[in-house]
Structure 1
Amino acid sequence: MPSSEGASSSASPPPSFASLGLIDPLLKALDQVNFKQPTEIQSQALPSALLGRDIIGVAETGSGKTAAFALPILQKLWEEPKGLFACILAPTRELAYQISQQFESLGSAMGVRCLVLVGGVDRMPQAVALAKRPHIIVATPGRLNDHLQNTKGFSLRSLKFLVLDEADRLLDMDFGPDIDQILKVIPKERTTYLFSATMTTKVAKLQRASLSNPVRVEVSSKYQTVSTLLQYYLFIPLAQKDVHLVYLVNSLASNSIILFTRTVHDAQRLSIVLRTLGFPAVPLHGQLSQSQRLGALGKFKSGGRNILVATDVASRHVLHSGFMGPTDHHYRGLDLPSVDVVINFDIPSHSKDYIHRVGRTARAGRSGKSVTIVTQYDVELIQRIETVIAKKMELWPTDEEEVALLRERVEEAGRVAINELKEEARFNEGRKRRREDRGSKDDRDRDDDVVEAGGVPKKRGKARH
């Protein structure tokens, strides 16, 4: 007994944000956004960052790394509130909006001005906003380079901080040349933070080119799920996937759920099945337009829909990076602080995709659940995932009598979904034909005008149908 008391008294208490040296305005902002205790990456990175050191952090999304670089930048900005102060490079527009939102939340007491520069939106409003001298720019490298070359009066000559977030993805997406160009036009005397989920050869080369005597902080391995995530599986015959999914969703009805499918067709089909049965579901996949994705994410964020049915494309390119929604003439990040459950309708072929999917819940120290539906054809895949994560999943308890009672209604909803998708496909095909017919008519009208004017119509190939 005495020895255990001695052990407990000698154990150091977990650090607080105050003990790490943050100023009162930031402590108040952290309290307002309900950040109670530093995550591991924050505990390790903040002391060195607040001393002005360059940082290289190896950490996955969901580890709290955004605050790990935002807090020291904001603290220094409080001390020296001068013009354009920091530039954060992100691989996707969605992640850029999320980072900007976190800066605005944490810097609310100091009136921090953030600007997001990404492709896919009009350059002119961005150029006008640049003239208003934001403190923080969050950008994708291509659009930032575009403004550096074409927006009069804009430069990064006074920059104090550069952050390269998700550097492995920046380089995988071939932003290397853009980053090289940006490094040439920013001050050599600056503080640089580089964060990456993996340390590839390319990332190590970028580190050597951009950082000066950095402190290395590593808090996670490439393949890891957090301890607060409860991972389950449901083993059922392939033919019974739909009805067991509905049973699962019904038993988890009070939770926010992200449901992953392998195909766009299933994402659309299952959204209709669930809505037909009274569950508020919305699809998210790569074939949606930007405005449709924004609408889906906005509904999920606001609670108008608490089930998001997503494909792996959405997982890698949207969900892995954060969420976004419209505000005024720009977009702003929609951070999802608490997704309760991830359901894998289709088991992913790669363990890394599984980890990306289930990483949408149990973030930043919170608890969460994942349930993976496993059929007789998926046994090898689930065993491979369990080996990689070094954890055995638990069997999700199922009441087969309740499942049987749902079967007839689920089959009927499935027929409704197939008919709806067929009707939509016919509508889209008809609209496509009408557009082609209008285009052909416009061409003929232009040729008639040319002939009437004494000219020769252009030769055109056959219209494609």
Structure 2
Amino acid sequence: MAAGEEEGAAAGTETESEAAVEELRSFKDLGVTDVLCEACDQLGWKVPTKIQVEAIPVALQGRDVIGLAETGSGKTGAFALPILQALLETPQRLFALVLTPTRELAFQISEQFEALGSSIGVQTTVIVGGIDTMSQSLALAKKPHVIIATPGRLVDHLENTKGFNLRALKFLVMDEADRILNMDFETEVDKILKVIPRDRKTFLFSATMTKKVQKLQRAALKNPVKCAVSSKYQTVEKLQQYYIFIPSKFKDSYLVYILNELAGNSFMIFCSTCNNTQRTALLLRNLGFTAIPLHGQMSQNKRLGSLNKFKAKARSILLATDVASRGLDIPHVDVVINFDIPTHSKDYIHRVGRTARAGRSGKSITFVTQYDVELFQRIEHLIGKKLPAFPMQEEEVMMLTERVAEAQRIARMELREQGEKKRSRNDNDDDTEEAIGVRNKVAGGKKKKRKAF
């Protein structure tokens, strides 16, 4: 395809894809094989999404794909189905690698691969930080069909796990590529690209086409087809968006008021730091709310535990940092609260995209203090609309301040205790490491430096 033709095709994607969705009523129409169509049916995927309509036929033809689509648009299916179909045609171990920015997203993609490929016996392995490397090395030794990994931990295994390499790899997927690069994984991605075959198929999926993503596209993809189903930043029509303008010192009281006002809903509350996430979760628990935190300083098991409790509706409030703002598919979030306003306006789109998914309605409420006005104006400019104020009864909020102040005091004490426990645990770990070091010296055993790649 000539460059001009390709640009013309890309420009017409929006209208063509809408027409295509009308015509294509099933995955079978896209060229997906019967056994995988049945798997889609069992997962409740009745009709392909826009990005699936655009990307699957192109991928099945053996082309490299750049998929531009917002979060919650069915991107995983758009790359998982062509990979599984190719695996059916030429069965092979260590067949595909999917790179993702966060651990939770890696586990979610793994679940979808296993669900879609359950009838054909697909084996996947998740390689992420926060989990014992020895058990991961054993899983890699079994040579799964698909590896889903965060870049840092994968490079660690490529450099240090004996016998593990990706020289036979047929497919590379970079999901949420803009976020992978924003999290400064460029060096790791470069290392991975150097040790995998050049003769492979590459799918690059991203919500935004940044300069870094364009650079990566040039380095990693060969004559790709661009499948864009959303060119501008936008929020879903069925999402009701509000803001509340409040004094910074009463933020906690306003949060408690809103949780009481909208009781019976499930909430995702976004905070800017791990510490504030933990503190607010403790505060809400002290006031009798079923709140659980999810942030980067928790162990991987605790993070998955929190996510699963919320997904299973055992807890109605999930407090999270931006680790949970993208990619995670939690179907039943009714309300998103931006307790701390996001510093990057684009993160607002991803956060509020946790609700009003798959055609359902939802609410989002953004807290704006005297320090956040400029950030809030940037968000309104980005989404191209002025948000209405959420209706509040100020007197009722002020009646809560005494109870909230007491809960804040207890939460601070609990946070301090948790910090002290963590410090003493780390001290014990240091002692153990010192003892091991002494033992090794006595035994004369110096560890050999392992070769990189």
TM-score > 0.5, shorter chain as reference: yes
Runs of 4+ in 1 over 6 A off after TM superposition: 433-440
Q: Secondary structure of the equivalent of 2:197?
A: coil
Q: Secondary structure of the equivalent of 1:34?
A: coil
Task: Determine which of 416, 419, 422 is the counterpart of 2:407.
Answer: 416
Write the distance in 2 (CA, Å) between the matches of 1:132 and 1:205.
35
Give, in angstroms, the shift of residue 214 of structure 1.
Answer: 0.9
1:140 is aligned to 2:141: no
Query: Which residue in the other structure is 1:455 paired with?
Result: none
Change (3 A) 1:351 1:428: closer
* Residue-by-residue CA offset, 1:171-225 (whole Å, 9 max, x unaligned): 3334334333333333333211112233333322322222221101122246332
Query: Which residue in the other structure is 1:206 paired with?
Result: 216
* Residue-by-residue CA offset, 1:272-323 (whole Å, 9 max, x unaligned): 343233321122344444444344323322322110122xxx21x344253x
Write the distance in 1 (CA, Å) between the matches of 2:45 and 2:339.
32
RMSD between superposed Cα atoms in Å = 3.2
Write the distance in 2 (CA, Å) between the matches of 1:273 and 1:348.
21
Query: Which residue in the other structure is 1:456 paired with?
Result: none
1:348 is aligned to 2:342: yes
Change (3 A) 1:430 1:136: closer
Change (3 A) 1:81 1:386: same
Change (3 A) 1:199 1:434: closer
1:320 is aligned to 2:326: yes
Matched length: 413
Task: Determine which of 8, 15, 20 is the counterpart of 2:24.
Answer: 15
Give, in angstroms, the shift of residue 425 of structure 1.
Answer: 1.8
1:425 is aligned to 2:419: no
The one-letter code sitting in structure 2 at the alignment partner of 1:359 is G
Change (3 A) 1:439 1:355: closer
Give, in angstroms, the shift of residue 432 of structure 1.
Answer: 5.0
1:196 is aligned to 2:190: no
Write the distance in 2 (CA, Å) between the matches of 1:367 and 1:296.
24
- Contact 1:83–1:134 under 8 Å retained in 2: yes
Write the distance in 1 (CA, Å) between the matches of 2:68 and 2:119.
30
TM-score by length of 1: 0.78
Query: Which residue in the other structure is 2:102 paired with?
Result: 92
Query: Which residue in the other structure is 1:458 paired with?
Result: none
Change (3 A) 1:297 1:411: farther
Give, in angstroms, the shift of residue 434 of structure 1.
Answer: 10
The one-letter code sitting in structure 2 at the alignment partner of 1:44 is E
* Residue-by-residue CA offset, 1:132-154 (whole Å, 9 max, x unaligned): 23111112233333333443433
Give, in angstroms, the shift of residue 49 of structure 1.
Answer: 1.0
Give, in angstroms, the shift of residue 237 of structure 1.
Answer: 5.0
Query: Which residue in the other structure is 1:171 paired with?
Result: 181
Q: Secondary structure of the equivalent of 1:19?
A: helix
Give, in angstroms, the shift of residue 342 of structure 1.
Answer: 0.2
Change (3 A) 1:360 1:319: same
Write the distance in 1 (CA, Å) between the matches of 2:313 and 2:403.
27
Write the distance in 1 (CA, Å) between the matches of 2:396 and 2:147.
55
The one-letter code sitting in structure 1 at the alignment partner of 2:233 is Y
- Contact 1:39–1:365 under 8 Å retained in 2: no
Task: Determine which of 103, 111, 114 is the counterpart of 2:124.
Answer: 114
- Contact 2:131–2:300 under 8 Å retained in 1: no
Change (3 A) 1:271 1:61: same
Query: Which residue in the other structure is 2:362 paired with?
Result: 368
- Contact 1:273–1:414 under 8 Å retained in 2: no
- Contact 1:345–1:372 under 8 Å retained in 2: yes
- Contact 1:197–1:222 under 8 Å retained in 2: no
- Contact 2:283–2:411 under 8 Å retained in 1: no
- Contact 2:72–2:327 under 8 Å retained in 1: no
Write the distance in 1 (CA, Å) between the matches of 2:58 and 2:120.
23
The one-letter code sitting in structure 2 at the alignment partner of 1:261 is C
Give, in angstroms, the shift of residue 226 of structure 1.
Answer: 2.5
Change (3 A) 1:237 1:87: closer
Identity, in percent, stands at 58
The one-letter code sitting in structure 2 at the alignment partner of 1:154 is F
More deviation, 187-196/419-428: 419-428
Give, in angstroms, the shift of residue 72 of structure 1.
Answer: 0.8
Q: Report 1:230-245 matches (<5 A).
A: 230-236=240-246, 238=248, 240-245=250-255
* Residue-by-residue CA offset, 1:9-40 (whole Å, 9 max, x unaligned): x9772533232222222222222222232222
Change (3 A) 1:111 1:149: same
Q: Secondary structure of the equivalent of 1:154?
A: coil
Give, in angstroms, the shift of residue 365 of structure 1.
Answer: 4.1
1:389 is aligned to 2:380: no
Could you list the runs of 5+ residues in structure 2 that have no partner in the other structure? 1-17, 435-453
Q: Secondary structure of the equivalent of 2:125?
A: strand
* Residue-by-residue CA offset, 1:350-404 (whole Å, 9 max, x unaligned): 3223223212222344432211233455444433321210123233344x3xx64
- Contact 1:246–1:410 under 8 Å retained in 2: no
Query: Which residue in the other structure is 2:80 paired with?
Result: 70
Query: Which residue in the other structure is 1:326 paired with?
Result: none
1:336 is aligned to 2:345: no
The one-letter code sitting in structure 2 at the alignment partner of 1:185 is V
The one-letter code sitting in structure 1 at the alignment partner of 2:120 is M
Query: Which residue in the other structure is 1:101 paired with?
Result: 111
TM-score by length of 2: 0.80
